[in-house]
Amino acid sequence: MGYSKIHISVIMFFAGISSCGGAALSQWISERMGKGTGQISALVIAFSLVCFGFDKAWISIFVFILAAFFNSVLYPVKSEVLHKLIPSPQRATLISVESMFFSLAMIVLFPLAGRLAEVLGLSVILAFCGVFLLVFAGMWKNK
């Protein structure tokens, strides 16, 4: 989008502040939203990815900072849910398996997304990922 390294650094700085705010407020948000915190956070992140498809700088910056906030809200909420639902020995195994599948998915998906971004454009691929997540979340919710 024509931004210099300085501009990108400033955007990343504000995204970092937003992430800190999300982590700091995650407990408060979780108390207010209850079980829907994870779902709402995931939907906001997915919607943010869709918004990258508009290919407008100010929209992309805003949703990037918004997604950083809700990504930081998700992590403590996920950890708390895991601690409540799964006993400690199984929890360690689950976290290890989750990490392994995340790594495996990234080994496949990152190069694929990178190649498709070269052909179709990064904003198109990010928007597609957002639509995919919204569809997946909708199917998960209705199941």
Q: Which long-range contacts (CB under 8 A, 24 or more apart) does 3-10 make?
A: 3/57
CA–CA distance, 66 with 3 (Å, rounded to integer)? 19
Supply the pLDDT for residue 120.
93
Supply the pLDDT for residue 143.
67
- Whose structure tokens read 């407020």? 25
How many CB atoms lie under 10 A from the CB of residue 19?
19
CA–CA distance, 113 with 45 (Å, rounded to integer)? 18
Angle at 75 between CA 116 and CA 56, to 5 degrees: 40
Supply the pLDDT for residue 22.
93
Which residues are within 8 A (CB) of 68 and not within 5 positions of it... i.e. 6 or more apart?
15, 16, 18, 19, 22
CA–CA distance, 27 with 80 (Å, rounded to integer)? 10
Segments in the chain below pLDDT 70: 1, 143
Supply the pLDDT for residue 79.
79
**CATH number among 1.10.1740.10, 2.60.120.380, 3.40.1390.10, 1.20.1250.20, domain 5-142:** 1.20.1250.20
Say what the pTM is: 0.79
Per-domain boundaries in the chain = 5-142
What 8-state DSSP symbol labels residue 86?
Answer: S
